[in-house]
Amino acid sequence: MFRRAVRLLIGSGEGLGLTSGRLRLAAIGFGVIYALIVGRLVQYAVAPNIDEIERVAQTVAAIQRPDIVDRNGTVLATDVKVSSLYAEPKNIIDVDEAVDLLSQALPDLNAKDLRAKLSTKKGFVWLKREISPRDQVKVFRLGIPGVAFVQENKRVYPNGTQVAHVLGFADIDNKGIAGIEKYLDTSGLTRAAALEAGKGGRMAPIRMALDLKVQHAVRDELAEGMKKFKAIAASAAIADVDTGEIVSLVSLPDYDPNIPSDALKPEAINRVNTGVFEMGSTMKALTIAMGLDSGKVSLQSRFDARAPLQYGRFKIHDFHPQRRVLTVPEVFIHSSNIGTARIALTMGVEAHKAFLKKMGQLDRLQTELPESARPLVPARWGELNTITISFGHGVAIAPIQSVMGVSALVNGGWLMKPTFLQRTAEEARAVSTKVLRDQTSVQMRYLMRLNAEKGSAKKADIPGYRVGGKTGTAEKVIGGRYSKTKNLTAFTAVFPMDKPRYMLLAVLDEPKALPETHGFATSGWNVVPVGGRMVERIAPLLNVEPDYEAPTATALLGGIPTGSVQE
């Protein structure tokens, strides 16, 4: 029976050769099918989840950021490619073995967390971001199925702390968290640059108004001044008064954006944009400009400063009392609280409030930097508030608001919002508001230059650069009361005063008196010389040529009569 079945299957002997060929062909066919099945099973068992990996790879590849460069093209922030380690837990054959091998190769991995990640049935988990090439080789040699690498972008800041508060930083996923980096994301500039690059174009860099060379000089001088006068903090900003561009911004203590956790230190805030301070006598420049612009006050106007100004139970004193009637230029160069308060009272409470609001001092100032602060303004503003605010006490503002306000005093009366991106004078003027008469601006240039020639800003009168400015010393509020020992000293400088181009604001927080300052800790003894050294270093970098035959303060008025100034 069996033999017959075999003969039926293979046929007669004559056809044996043909049947053998058929058997071989059938065997080959079955072998191919078997191999395909086995291969597919192996693929499902150990091959990567291609769709998941591609999705993650596309995600991390898409988070690329345009370079940030300074106004001269120097790179401030850029992306570099780094490898990161991931796993597909559902394809891990032996979790215990994988944990043991990875823990030995990468001792900084937490074995407990690693085991928890690899014990899930997820298609993808991160094991270590930004792995070093040496560690990458170690893991590669382990040959663990289900463990591999993917390339992603990492943000780096070649200049470290130098531009920290302007740039901000990006997180481990290359998303902007603070500063210009956050602005690039929220404004859509990051996405627009990436889309352009995806079309085969080049990702254009973001060009800042900031000048890295100027930034370095300002930070260097500010750090030296902070150290010398034992201040707890310091800040400075340089603005182009014709464009509103911020050419430099420094806030100390600062942080390294390459180490984002450093930015969480409470002392590492951007004091120029997010700090609010009573700016002291620098506010007097705005008060006097208000009086002059109204026409109710002229340079020849005189104000009685023979005795303290009595208001109810309060007395307003001068720090350096002249005990006589003062002209407006004398009120300015002697920084008379009494004279400034009388100018404000001449205008009245409502006019004072309206002027400060027009000058951008009472509202939150928002720039490209997401970080900003709301001014502290009295809820009920009466005559006493107008008196104290006129000379810089009673309203706390962000220093960048002072930069904006004082720039308008000297640039012809144009109030322009500061910008950290490049723009032309024409572009700035198109979005600016005329807030002062041309003549008022000329008069303020005269007063500020006069203060450097004869007043409290003499230590910043760098030969050839025609500096003008206003000093300010404000007692800090500690525990709800003004401290007699802790001051904030500020210096607003403009140069060159015959044709104003740049404005500098420098601030020292709680500077200490030194033997060489004769026990004084007011601005004329500390922040003014610091500001002078800044001007001396940065003016050549900004192409401001020295002129040793420059006009005097009086000549700046162009024939406008001045009030007398007693020597």
Which residues are annotated as catalytic?
Answer: 281
The CA distance from 112 to 126, in Å, is 15
CA angle 48, 49, 53 (to 5 degrees): 95
The CA distance from 318 to 391, in Å, is 11
CA angle 125, 128, 130 (to 5 degrees): 125
The secondary structure of 84-116 as a DSSP string is: EEEE-GGG-S-HHHHHHHHHHH-TTS-HHHHHH
Left if phi > 0, otherwise alpha if psi is -120 to 50, otherwise beta: which for 559?
left
The CA distance from 492 to 506, in Å, is 7
Are the beta carbons of 64 and 203 closer than 8 angstroms? yes
The CA distance from 450 to 326, in Å, is 15
Q: Which amino acid is at 115?
A: R
The CA distance from 510 to 438, in Å, is 37
Pairing between strand 176-178 and 206-207?
unpaired
The secondary structure of 550-565 as a DSSP string is: PPPHHHHTTT------
Number of other residues whose CB lies within 10 A of the CB of residue 558 = 10
